[in-house]
Amino acid sequence: MTERSAQPSTQRATTAATKPGAKPSGKPQAKPAADRGADETAVRPPLTERIQAKLSSARDEHVANAEPESRTKATKAAAGSKPPRRARLRLTRIDPWSVMKTAFLLSIAFGIVTVVSVLMVWSVLGAAGVWDSINQTIQESIGGPETANLDVENYVGTSRVLGFTMLVAAVDVVLLTAIATLGAFLYNMAAALLGGIEVTLSED
């Protein structure tokens, strides 16, 4: 009696285990340690392959970084084949304050250059003996006691000429600055009426 009852229970357990619709148990079956070690060894690449992969990735990054330069060169080459672009602009206003500052500095520079050039010219003339020859020519041509003490340098000497040149340079600074500022005001008034000067700009 006991053996018969045990056989059907065994058959039911076997049928339940082999039944297609039976759900597997929630706990996953653990793999042996030898199988886990084999899987890890198979998944992890060797050292040479990892080094080659890093080298190839570095080479790809270098090529990617070098691509913008090649693109820039290609763009310049394409731009060189095309005709240069042009832009037509109009000068409608000039700032009088900026014109005054620029004219003031340029006039000061012009005055300094004038004084230095006059000093150099008069020094060269004096070293060449031009004034002595002029005094001698006047004495020989006119003669008399009046020309015995004649000296041209008393009238056109270096000190007098430099003083006169500095005075002229200071006057030029004031006049050039005033004229440039007044010209800016006049241009702004004319541009307000007529539209200003048209300028066409072109690329190289």
pLDDT tens figures, 142-177: 766 666 666 677 777 778 888 999 999 999 999 999
Structure tokens that stand for 130 in this block: 């031009």
Percent of the chain with pLDDT over 90: 28
Q: Give residue-wise pLDDT tens across range 33-46.
A: 445 544 444 566 67
pLDDT of residue 26: 46
Predicted pLDDT of residue 109: 96
Asked whether 93 and 191 are in contact (CB, 8 A), the reply is: yes
Q: Identify the residue with better confidence: 85 or 1.
A: 85
Q: How confident is residue 47, by pLDDT bands cut at 50, 70 and 90?
A: confident
What's the one-letter identity of residue 79? A
Helix (H) or strand (E) holding 91: strand 86-91
CB of 188 within 8 A of CB of 152?
no
Query: Each residue of 116-149: pLDDT tens digit?
Result: 999 999 888 888 887 778 777 777 777 666 666 6
